Amino acid sequence: ETGVTQSPTHLIKTRGQQVTLRCSSQSGHNTVSWYQQALGQGPQFIFQYYREEENGRGNFPPRFSGLQFPNYSSELNVNALELDDSALYLCASSLRYDEKLFFGSGTQLSVL
Amino acid sequence: AQRVTQPEKLLSVFKGAPVELKCNYSYSGSPELFWYVQYSRQRLQLLLRHISRESIKGFTADLNKGETSFHLKKPFAQEEDSAMYYCVLGNTGRRALTFGSGTRLQVQP
């Protein structure tokens, strides 16, 4: 059984650019949630996908968007990057939307 | 609005001492509460959930709705307990989890 994998592990972008982060769910999990963790803070909910549909969204602007694919892997896209988008982005999968989360190791995004 | 407060950024204790990591929450509905833990160089993982009323690695947490608290306790700390601990609040249906800012527990020998 493979765990949640995220790619890339680190990324450096400049302000105004666009970025795509990827996540492979743990085997058998149909739900993926994305969280943003700023330095010194707890993770903050961005959105969740359940069976390829958005199933809840946190207080993030529309330039944060996502996709979930038929194999339940997922992407997080961020357009028009801002300096404050610099953070660790965590992906978590679960058997169902209301089940225990299994986290990936995260993607560290730096926006210069 | 949902909110989780962990007042201590760092808690340092000696091995064998009791530990209490404080957590207070704000939520208008019926809360679901969890503790997640991140050990050094490991991923964030679930430690325990209030509905299970279980003890994991010697840790327990009791939901006190009157005081809106969910403190994590262990009677005798071990060095391997050193980690970052997050108190987490789940909303109805548990689609979104609200994390506290975390407390780093250091257990000294």
3-state SS track over B26-53: ECCCCCEEEEEEECCCCCCEEEEEHHHC
pLDDT one-digit tens code per residue, A21-42: 999 999 889 999 999 999 999 9
pLDDT one-digit tens code per residue, B40-63: 999 999 999 988 878 889 999 989
Considering only the beta carbons, identify the residue of B96, B98, B102 that sits closest to A56: B96
Give the torsion sign (CA, A96, A97, A103, A104). Answer: positive
Mean of pLDDT values over A70-91? 96
Q: Are A91 and A32 in contact (CB under 8 A)?
A: yes
Flag if A97 and B95 touch (Cβ within 8 Å): yes
Flag if A90 and B44 touch (Cβ within 8 Å): yes
pLDDT at A1: 54
Chain-centre distance for alpha carbon B13:
16
Flag if A45 and B45 touch (Cβ within 8 Å): no
Our CA-based measurement puts residue A59 at a distance from the nearest CA of chain B, in whole angstroms, of: 11
